[in-house]
A = this chain, B = another copy of it.
Amino acid sequence: MVRMADVAREAGVSAMTVSNVLNQRRPVAAATRARVLAAAESLGYEVNLTARHLSAGRTDTVALIVPSFHDYFGEVADEIAPLIEAEGRHLVLERTSASPEQEMESLSIARLQLYDGVLLSVASLDRQQLERVRTSKPIVLLGERDAPDRFDHVRLANEEGARLATAHMIERGSRRIVALGCTLERGHTMNSDRRVGWELAHEQAGLPVDERLVVPIATYSSQAARAALEGAIAAGLEFDAVFAATDVIALGAVAALADHRLRVPEDVQLAGFDNLDVSRFVPPGITSIDPNHQGVAQHAVRLLHRRMADGAAPAEHIVVPVDLVVRGSTRP
């Protein structure tokens, strides 16, 4: 390994001068500068970032910690990356496997010290566990779970999105709308908040809420969603629309409906949530709630930036508005 001292010796200067040339921190005589650059080049020198980080006390790197790398989180990450890079920092992704243990570990101060700031996409930690996280590192929470007020937090307008999608299908004539992947449990989680929105749409339309239409699923996968809806159909549940808690779930619903030769939207209307790319292309196009990734990304980075500048600033809690995107899976 080539160190700065090696370059210094080769160029006949001190290490400090090498540092100054390479970082353009102080003016250096042109001739000296040229010699240093030549020496660095010929030895193939590159700065040791670990040493720089230790010395500087910062890493110019931000971590985005997600439950898993694919689907929704990958898409958000691609939105966040350029915003972080625009400020001259690097973004790295780590994942927690959505297990509370790993999510806690990734929050250990040790791991945090590698980064100047952390965006944590909370999937499974509850309020109490988050309460125990004590660190002065800038952290911004992303996601739909309830969290302590002292954290900056960006979440979606889950209720409003679910209400919009459900109201839209009521307006287009449906009266028995399955809430697939939702839950009757209370407490702020993504699938509970979305069920509340589904209820709200019924109340606002003066329709009764039939809790049998809430069909929970085992895991947030298309496979589980397909199985759950098949099960509901087999059990004789009557319905004329499906509100799916996520687009991944909606995709499972598409498959289950096709298996039973139920036409979308003629027999059953369908709407999802997340506006994944795939929803534009699966015929007849899946009506969905656009979660405004860009807005999420912008707020998250803005809050983190602010927090890194001022650790004592009061916490902000952002609810990012969402939009209904109408496609062929709901009736005109």
Q: Which residues of A contact B (CB under 8 A)?
A: 44, 46-51, 53-54, 59, 63, 68-71, 73-75, 77-78, 81-82, 90-95, 97, 108-111, 113-114, 134, 221-223, 226, 251-252, 254-255, 258, 277-278, 280-285
A-B contact pairs, 21 of them (CB 8 A): A48-B110, A50-B50, A50-B54, A50-B113, A68-B74, A69-B81, A69-B93, A70-B74, A70-B75, A70-B77, A70-B78, A81-B95, A92-B94, A93-B93, A226-B281, A251-B281, A252-B281, A255-B282, A255-B283, A278-B282, A282-B282
B278, A254: Cβ atoms under 8 Å? no
> Bound complex: CA of A69 vs CA of B51, how far in Å?
29
B47, A110: Cβ atoms under 8 Å? yes
Q: How far does the Cβ of A290 sit from chain B's closest Cβ, in whole Å? A: 16
By a CB distance below 8 angstroms, the chain B residues around A252 are 281
Q: How far does the Cβ of A134 sit from chain B's closest Cβ, in whole Å? A: 7
Q: How far does the Cβ of A184 sit from chain B's closest Cβ, in whole Å? A: 26
A113, B46: Cβ atoms under 8 Å? yes
By a CB distance below 8 angstroms, the chain B residues around A59 are 50
Q: If A46-B108, A47-B110 touch, does A74 touch B81 (CB 8 Å cutoff)?
A: no
- Can you list the 4 inter-chain pairs with the closest CB atoms, starting with the nearest? A70-B74, A74-B74, A258-B283, A46-B109
By a CB distance below 8 angstroms, the chain B residues around A251 are 278, 281-282
Residue of B nearest to A82 (CB): B97
Residue of B nearest to A71 (CB): B74
By a CB distance below 8 angstroms, the chain B residues around A108 are 46
Partner of A77 from B44, B69, B134, B282 at Cβ < 8 Å: B69
A277, B222: Cβ atoms under 8 Å? yes
A110, B49: Cβ atoms under 8 Å? yes
A44, B134: Cβ atoms under 8 Å? yes
